[in-house]
Amino acid sequence: MAHEGQTGVVIESGGTKLLGTLFLARGDEPKPTALLLHGLPGIEKNYDLAHALRDAGWNSLIFHYRGSWGSGGDYRFETLADDARTALDHLSSRTYEQVNPRSFALVGHSMGGWVAVRAGNDERVRAVVTIGAVTEPRRVHFTAAMAEVSFTPFLSGITPAEFETQWTALDGILEEAGALDRPLLIVHAANDPIVPVEQAHLLHDASGGRARLELHPDANHAFVWHRRWLIDLVVGWLEESLQLSK
């Protein structure tokens, strides 16, 4: 029976249930799949990007890390990449005949970009995209007071004080970026008020200049007023990158 283009997903990770939505392109043949990794706490989830990818013939999965948006468990920075790898395992399990188990892209926004690079050296991943990514957390000053207003109200099992302690101890991803041997697209707002554009330049430098860097002169952190520009860039680049890597 033909699928309906989307389905709810429950993934077991670390003894908890992660919730998500898998968007399936037309047809039952195996296709590349993008894992869309939202940020902290994930107000922007990139559903419009998921729909555009589906229209372009890609599957995509949006899921929620443990402790966020209804998923079980406690939110911890140290388990974000573990949850992403578990999501890849789930997609690779041949549960979905429409998913090519060895053709994935990771697309991460903000903290999701940190996750995408950290998990990007998985052999199943063929391309990585970061959007407004955090790359060196210790250079982005998030405090307990900021967390109490903007972050922890949306997360489970983490207090503002715990948030600040975990944040200040969090490692960057520049070493992983240097070892990343697949196409990398770095997208950032030139005047991002939340994650400074310096973070994108650090990531590009760590890649040895191999990555493609795209800066938008007017966008905000979530590209709210520039979604069409962002979607066209990401979808076009993914299609081109996977064609070139065949």
- In the listed set 123, 149, 171, which residue is the last one of a domain according to the structure? 171
Total tally of structural domains belonging to the chain: 2
Residues 211 and 163 in one domain: no
Is the CB of residue 127 less than 8 Å from the CB of residue 241? yes
89 pLDDT band (50/70/90 cuts)?
very high
Residues 187 and 101 in one domain: yes
Residue 116 belongs to domain spanning = 6-71+87-136+174-244
**Quick one: which H or E segment has residue 102?**
strand 99-109
At 243 the pLDDT is 84
Average pLDDT, the chain: 97
Nearest alpha-carbon partner for 43 in 29, 60, 14, 64: 64
Mean pLDDT of 180-198: 98
pTM above 0.85, yes or no: yes
Residue 120 has pLDDT above 50, yes or no: yes
246 pLDDT band (50/70/90 cuts)?
low
**Residue appearing with tokens 């905000």:** 220
**125 falls within a domain:** yes
Residue 1 has pLDDT above 60, yes or no: no
Residue 2 has pLDDT above 70, yes or no: no
CA 59 to chain centre: 15
**81 falls within a domain:** no
**221 falls within a domain:** yes
- Residues 159-192 as b/e (b if ≥16 CB within 10 A, e otherwise) read ebebbbebbeebebbeebbeebebbbbbbbbeeb
Instruction: Please state, as a whole number, how many other Cβ atoms lie within 10 Å of the Cβ of residue 103.
Output: 19
pLDDT, tens digit (0-9, with 9 covering 90-100), for 139-179? 999 999 999 999 999 999 999 999 999 999 999 999 999 99
3 pLDDT band (50/70/90 cuts)?
confident
